[in-house]
Amino acid sequence: MLVIAGPGTGKTQLLTTRVAHILTVTDTLPQNILCLTFSDSAAHAMRQRLTNRIGSAAYDVNISTYHAFGSDLIRRYPEYFSDNMVSRPVDDLAIDVICRRIIRQLSYANPLKFAENYIGDIKNFISDAKQAYLTPNDIRIIIKSNQRFIDRSNTYTKPFLRD
């Protein structure tokens, strides 16, 4: 079953109800069901709702994000993938290492040069931008708009703020 709908429309509720129904009225085993979603939070919500409905059998249902499922397939069956592909998917630790390496290479004039304490925020921003289908140019436009707003706001607020 494929459900395509916007946020807050009940996709998770629909899928968990359907899975619970299949497991209670058929002889289908939980490990023979695969549920894929786009975000970790949706996968977690799906697992929680399914656990509330059917108990511990929910942990035998394969619930994952598309990315994690694809990564797992590559890890389990590397012989089916091209030799030109990356030998292993990038995990959270590798993403941290990549972000820190990029930050270290920035010039000292770049405001992000000292953002190493905010790696989690940077990763969340990248994830949010990807989910919103923002291009680098979209982000540049948003940054310029935000900077114009800050500059205009500063002229009004500066007299009220202490140095």
The predicted-structure confidence for 46-55, as pLDDT tens digits, reads as follows 999 999 999 9
Task: Record the tokens describing residue 94, joined without a space.
Answer: 């590798």
The predicted-structure confidence for 93-145, as pLDDT tens digits, reads as follows: 888 889 999 999 999 999 888 888 888 898 889 888 988 889 999 999 999 99
pLDDT score for 163: 62
At 22, the amino acid letter reads I
This model's pTM is above 0.75 = no
- Report the SS3 class of residue 35: strand
The predicted-structure confidence for 71-83, as pLDDT tens digits, reads as follows: 888 888 878 876 6
Q: Cα separations (Å) of 38 from 21, 74, 149?
A: 23, 18, 33
Residues 40, 41, 44, 49, CA torsion sign: negative
